[in-house]
Amino acid sequence: MSAAGEPPLDGAGTTRATCVLAPNPGLMTLNGTNTWVIAEPGSAATVVVDPGPDDEAHLRRVAGLAEAAGRRVARILLTHGHPDHAEGAARFAALTGAPVLAADPALRLGDEGLAPGDVLTAAGCEIRVVATPGHTADSVCLLLPADGALLTGDTVLGRGTTVIAHDGSLGDYLRTLDDLRALADEAGLRVLLPGHGPLLSDPAGVLDYYIAHRRERLDQVRVAVAAGARTPAEVVAIVYADVDRSLWPAAELSVRAQLDYLGA
Ligand SMILES: [Zn+2]
């Protein structure tokens, strides 16, 4: 499924990263979860990032694509623990025999984790782990320096903006956005590969927009609170008046995080 005017997501990517789109489209998942398959051209191994939901057909398709390319799945990495990214990891590990690496020890299968600053060499590629708490406490982004690409999970989405989950923190998220904006220059990022929605070919521009959008929303929440709004629902009705009502429950999550941040 692809929105009008967008190139298809399935099969999109960079020299070393290819999207396999999971069949779980929705309000929060956009086109569906982007499972990323990473390999150096000519490598006999591959790394799979975010196997996605526990959908047997999708997991078998990802495994089959690796096999058809003559590659063994060497590692499975998770950007964070939300089910639309991580639920299928155990089944995918069973299908492929690969270990699961995650920042959250509870999600790992095997001895390896994903710690900030870790540099993995797998499938002939260097992959650097960047801690990006905010959307969730356990969120990481994965830098693929050879492609100038950053796999962003749900920290930056291909369309719209990210929700701060119950276990996330807006303060952390704002710091993360500033860190990623600096990384965009330092690492010469050319593309963001999100967990949902299309590739983003202007990383610095996208991050500038995210940062400006967060500041603007925070200012709006301050104004709504000053005007007497008290509950998250009251704030949403004012600040998100121009947004489709089907998105208000998600907006309420964000507003909760904003009110926490403002100490209201
Ligand atoms: Zn998520």
pLDDT, tens digit, 9 for 90 and up, residues 150-173 = 999 999 999 888 888 878 899 999
227 alpha carbon to ligand 1 midpoint, in Å? 32
Of 181, 148, 173, 139, nearest to 49 by C-alpha is 139
Ligand 1 centroid–CA 190 distance in Å is 23
pLDDT band at 10 (very low <50, low <70, confident <90, very high): very high
Residues 57-82 have pLDDT tens digits of 999 999 999 999 999 999 999 999 99
Q: How crowded is residue 191: how many other Cβ atoms within 10 Å of its Cβ? A: 18
Bridge partners (DSSP) listed for residue 17 = 38
pLDDT at 1: 44
Q: Which pLDDT tens digit goes with each residue over 26-51?
A: 988 999 999 999 999 999 999 999 99
> Separation of 28 CA from ligand 1 center, angstroms?
9
Say how many Å lie between the CA of residue 164 and the centre of ligand 1. Answer: 9
- Report the candidate in 64, 55, 63 with the shortest Cα–Cα distance to residue 24: 55
User: Does the pLDDT at position 2 exceed 60?
Assistant: no
Cα 14 to averaged position of ligand 1 atoms, centre (Å): 23
Q: How far is the CA of 80 from the centre of ligand 1 (A)?
A: 7
211-218 mean pLDDT = 93
